[in-house]
Amino acid sequence: MTKIILGIDVSKKTLDAALIFDKRTFSKQFKNSAEGFKSLTAWLESLEIEQVHACLEATGTYSEAAALFLHERGHRVSVVNPLSNQRLRERQYAAQ
């Protein structure tokens, strides 16, 4: 089974999605609303993708609804602290 990753940059009004699979990357922007979540699902279906591992930054109320929506539809969801990601990148850069 191919690992399919969906990274989502969350803001109050939008979800900026980057989908990685089969050595390709696709990106698209959606509204951060129920309408946008449905559009995101339709986009995945149009690419014949049934399940992803979605990673969203923890932005409180802005990311909760999208994370729950994806989880309820059977996707694996990780909500991560953006500060932790920044520190990890800094450590990896310093080690180079």
Could you say which architecture CATH assigns to the domain 5-94? 2-Layer Sandwich (3.30)
The pLDDT score that the predictor gives to residue 92 is 54
Alpha-carbon distances of 70 from 23, 44, 45, 63, 93, rounded to whole Å: 23, 11, 13, 11, 32
The pLDDT score that the predictor gives to residue 94 is 62
The pLDDT score that the predictor gives to residue 88 is 53
The pLDDT score that the predictor gives to residue 2 is 67
Is 1 in contact with 17 (CB distance < 8 Å)?
A: no
Amino acid at 27: S
The pLDDT score that the predictor gives to residue 58 is 86
The pLDDT score that the predictor gives to residue 1 is 52
State the 10-residue block means of pLDDT for the chain, 96 residues long: 86 95 93 97 95 91 93 94 61 59
Q: What is the pTM of this model?
A: 0.82
